[in-house]
Amino acid sequence: MRVMLLLNDALNARGGIAQFNRDFAGALQGAVGAGSLAILARGSRDDVGPAPRGVDYDRGFAAGKTGFAARALAMAARARADLVICGHVHLTPLAYAAARLNGATLALVAHGVDVWRPTSHSLANRLTGSVDSLISVSALTAARMRSWMDRAPARTTILPNCVDLDAFTPGPKPAALAARYGLRDCEVALTVGRMSTDERYKGFDETMEAVARLRAAGRNLKYLLVGDGSDRARLEEKARAMGLDGAVVFAGHVPESEKADHYRLADVYCMPSSGEGFGIVVLEALACGVPVIASAIDGTREAVDGGALGALVEPSQSAQIDDALIDALQQPRGRRAGVLRFGAAAFNHRVGEWIAREGAARARQSSGLAQRVAP
């Protein structure tokens, strides 16, 4: 099967969606072979990472919307794809055109809050009704998207994010990092995520307030925030106003090579969010053996396997968060066996099974069409 993958971010971009794209592209390459995979990414001049070996990978440097569309149609013509995969709902019109050009099956990947309701792009919304196959990182996101689509896709597959179990492993608290952040001889709560004024659903505020309450009750607990963005200044000012100078530490963006060590600093990973589609950071914390607090109302619930791998709280219920923090801080650190179902091997297997199902569906469709036109 020949596959064309359209992405809204370059493969070397930051964030959970970019990580999913890298994992997904690698799994597709293993399932169909490098020579049968073409990838077009809405890249930038900063996209200097290596292309996947043997794959037709067009970054579309600084092309703008018109140039990107031209590149997409040119790739569709040369790729002769049997399956076009749209990596973001905003690219649905382009993916639809590429699929129609080749008579290909059209699949759409759904990540999170951006598809929980109709988008601001009316054409993209309308063309989601032409999707044959929906891939969603969580059952929650799939259900919310299907609720507003004009026509439900014929096939829906849940493909949760995965974590590199060899890179994210349990280990002792790194002394150098503890010294860097002033986190020696204390308990540490951690949240990792983008701090955006448009995405105030990560649980930073709720966790900061819980830390303040537990410190007031005598707990020597500090809060480490890893990430950056337009909302960081507000969060820093909030910490100062709450008298948490030195107790709330902003690490900013950290290089990937240091990420696992930052998880190992933590005694608890706390993310009482309300808009996460899944939450790969939850998996990374679990893989590092850190007790996790997730949300009962968004996709992080599925990242902790419905509560089997971590505690669930209602983000609006401060007492639940406080109790969960106290309980988690009493738990021993260590990776739980259930995390294995979110490893790269399991992810690659799921993608392989999905490709096989899509190939079988296409074969059935072609056979039915041949029978209808037979004399």
CATH of the domain at 68: 3.40.50.2000
Do 113 and 246 share a structural domain?
A: no
Residues 293 and 244 in one domain: yes
- Per the structure, the count of domains in the chain is 2
The rounded distance, in Å, linking the Cα atoms of 254 and 32 is: 34
Is a pLDDT exceeding 50 seen at residue 308? yes
pLDDT digits (tens, 9 = 90+) for 312-366: 999 999 999 999 999 999 999 999 999 999 999 999 999 999 999 999 999 887 7
Give 45's pLDDT tier (boundaries 50, 70, 90). low
Clarify whether residues 228 and 307 are in a common domain: yes
Q: How confident is the model at residue 9 (pLDDT cuts 50, 70, 90)?
A: confident
Same domain? 15 vs 149: yes
What pLDDT does 110 receive? 97
Q: What domain range is 229 assigned to?
A: 175-339
Residues 9 and 136 in one domain: yes
Q: What is the dihedral of CA 148, 149, 154, 159, to 10 degrees?
A: -70
pLDDT tens-digit profile of 131-189?
999 999 999 999 999 999 999 999 999 999 999 999 999 999 999 999 999 999 999 99
16 and 124 belong to one structural domain = yes
Would you say residue 168 lies in a domain?
A: no
pLDDT band at 66 (very low <50, low <70, confident <90, very high): confident
Domain assignment present for residue 186? The answer is: yes
Do 144 and 208 belong to one domain?
A: no
pLDDT confidence of residue 48: 53
Going by pLDDT thresholds of 50, 70 and 90, the confidence category of residue 49 is: low
Q: Is residue 167 part of a domain?
A: no
Q: Do residues 152 and 181 both lie within one domain?
A: no
HEC letters along 7-46: ECCCCCCCCHHHHHHHHHHHHHHHHHCHHHEEEEECCCCC
The three-point CA angle 228-141-229 to 5° equals: 10
Q: Across all residues in the chain, what is the average pLDDT?
A: 92
Please measure the distance between the N-terminal and C-terminal CA atoms of the chain and give it in whole angstroms. Answer: 28
Looking at the fold, whether 137 and 60 belong to one and the same domain comes out as yes
Domain assignment present for 93: yes
Examine the domain organization and report whether 262 and 129 are in the same domain.
no
Predicted pLDDT of residue 235: 97
Coil, helix or strand at residue 192:
strand
Instruction: Using alpha carbons, list the distances in angstroms from residue 42 to 1, 34, 299, 342.
Output: 24, 20, 26, 28
Asked if residues 81 and 2 have their Cβ atoms less than 8 Å apart, the reply is yes
The answer to whether the pTM exceeds 0.85 is yes
CB 93 within 8 A of CB 122: no
Going by pLDDT thresholds of 50, 70 and 90, the confidence category of residue 10 is confident
Question: Within this chain, do residues 94 and 116 fall inside the same structural domain, yes or no?
Answer: yes
Same-domain pairing of 236 and 97: no
